[in-house]
Structure 1
Amino acid sequence: MLTGKQKRFLRSQAHHLNPIFQVGKGGVNENMVKQIRDALEARELLKISILQNCDEDKDTVASALVKGTRAELVQVIGNIIVLYKESRENKQIKLP
């Protein structure tokens, strides 16, 4: 579980990132969860964009991604979700 200070730090780190994944009409599926899990292992912090044609609510999408990837939800702002998961072999971000 992330503290408020850690979330604030991660939000500042994620500000300059571009969304890597997009959740569209198909919603969250197993293949997408696997790809996001692999990307989190490589990068630790990433943004996911929710397209306008997505049938699900953004909070539902965020909780499904957090549950599937076992990552921490940093922020949901607008149609952007920010996820963080500490990497096992490729640690780049040092939390305060």
Structure 2
Amino acid sequence: MSGHFFAFKNREKISKSKKIALRESISNKKSSLIGDNLSQNDKNLEHSEISKTELKKLKKDIRQTIRNRKRKQDLLFGISFLLLTILLLFLSKKYNVF
């Protein structure tokens, strides 16, 4: 019975050491990624400046695509509603509902 208890304690120690090693490796990876991102962010800031006219063009394009999507959705809804009404009318005539 005592051997079983010692085996359990050894397993706990091993799992704790694995957790600690995993934490250390994750923190090392995070710190290396953060260090890499800092240099990347500095480079991106230099090239990311957008002029006001380009920004206006982008906003206009985004608004246009939103309008087009809304139009397509409205058109699809209208067509499906019309088809369903026609289908219901044919079914009602077939089964003499009216």
Bucket of the pairwise TM-score, normalised by the shorter protein: under 0.3
Q: TM-score, normalised by structure 2?
A: 0.20
TM-score, length of structure 1 as denominator length: 0.21
Higher relative contact order (CA 8 A, sep 6+): 1
Q: Which has the higher helix share?
A: 2
**Rg larger for:** 2
